[in-house]
Amino acid sequence: MERLISPTASLKGTLRVPGDKSVTHRGLMLGALAQGESTLYYPLKAGDTLSTAQVMRQLGAEISEQGEHFRIKGVGLKLHEPADVLDCGNAGTLIRLVAGILSGQEIFTVLTGDASLRRRPMGRVTTPLRQMGARIEGREGGKLAPLAIRGGGLRGIHYELPVASAQVKSAVLLAGLFAEEDTEVVEPAPTRDHTERVFRHYGLPIELEGPLIRTRRAEPFAAKDLTVPGDFSSAAFFLVAALITPDSDLTLEGVGLNPTRTGLLTVLKEMGADLSWQVSEGQDGEPVGRIRARSSALKGVSVDPRLIPLMVDEVPILAAAAAWAEGETFIPNLEELRVKESDRVAAIAKNLQNLGVPVEVGHDWLKIRGGSVQSGGMVEPFHDHRIAMAFAVCGLPTGVVVKEAEWASISFPSFWEDLERLAGKV
């Protein structure tokens, strides 16, 4: 489905973005592992998280939709063996995290997904899970899905992550809930800490010692309600849209402001963005607040590579901001983006070129010279929701055509309608 976006004069108003995808995944999984019934309030109900709900149903949990919420009846720490293959769709978080859980279950399961997911690297999780004792087979020696897992009999390990990855960290910690002896993970750099926070929320064992995170075998735990904050990654599209569109003033309400997710705010402020934010409350371990963004004259910067793990999903929209900034923006440490839903480094470079923006690209870096976005360009999402939305935003002031616009529904089903409303087009 192609979507034509006419030139936008301004964006004004208030928006509450959908629930956080990362927290929704974890809430569904731990709600299924709990004993009793609970409500997951304000979750994201989109492609990836609906896949998680269905997978946990196949593993024995009862999950029903109640208005905006999910009602979950967990089966405890012992999941049921499914009668069929578990289809993870496009959800990388789902397949990697549930692989950790299933490694600790004395059942047989097979995990697969769509063509994009079957290309994404799984060796980074199957390697430590095999070290813990899980029996996992897959294509290319377990490096690619489908993955066949026969779990049980795990032992704790001390594992130093070769890459800064919240998904790998979380897979090992979840497996550690079923392992004999302690399981320790050491991060080379901080990554999003939603798993650690939901462990605390449910009373699961978790200890932090600098870069080392430790867990151990869990006892049965009671179900507990969980409120999902608004997704910062979704809010980021509208923040940048307001910054680059003249005469704009937007406020985003109820946004998760977990400091392991908000590296983009630091970079945008360095670029001269008129941004302000305030944490107003905490929801079940996650800080939540509002962000205000107004039209700004941005300037290019050299991004601190240490910030990339704190904004890994926001690099596409940062590139959109850089396209409008005066001067050159250098974004390093992007190797992880090569193995997302698309090769995001290549996808970013291609779409910048489509919009007339000079860009140089290396294996793990981008150099963008801003200030020359052309009207009427074509956005190619490459089957990637964040690329579709980021470059729709990039072309917003001049007008743009977005191919395969439906990919936005993976994480932000109301994106196009919200954009039109705030632009005064409906």
* Distance set, CA 3 to CA 52, 378, 406 (Å): 28, 10, 9
- Catalytic, out of 313, 364, 384, 418: 313
Rounded Cα gap, residues 86 and 84, in angstroms: 6
Counting residues of the chain whose pLDDT is more than 70, the rounded percentage is: 100
pLDDT of residue 21: 97
Rounded Cα gap, residues 111 and 98, in angstroms: 9
Find the helix packing angle between 166-176 and 92-103, rounded to 10°.
20
**Single-letter amino acid code for the residue at 344:** R
pLDDT band at 241 (very low <50, low <70, confident <90, very high): very high
Two structure tokens written together for 380: 């190619």
Instruction: Give residue-wise pLDDT tens across range 23-80.
Output: 999 999 999 999 999 999 999 999 999 999 999 999 999 999 999 999 999 999 999 9
CATH tag for 3-19+230-422 (out of 3.40.50.1390, 3.90.1720.10, 3.40.50.720, 3.65.10.10):
3.65.10.10
pLDDT band at 184 (very low <50, low <70, confident <90, very high): very high
CATH class of 21-227: alpha beta
Which of 371 and 212 is assigned the larger pLDDT?
212
CB 287 within 8 A of CB 271: no
The two most distant CA atoms of the chain are separated, in Å, by: 61
Domain locations in the chain?
3-19+230-422, 21-227
> With 80 as the cut, is the pLDDT of residue 84 above it?
yes
> With 90 as the cut, is the pLDDT of residue 426 above it?
no
Q: Is 193 a known active-site residue? A: no
Are 3-19+230-422 and 21-227 the same fold in CATH?
yes
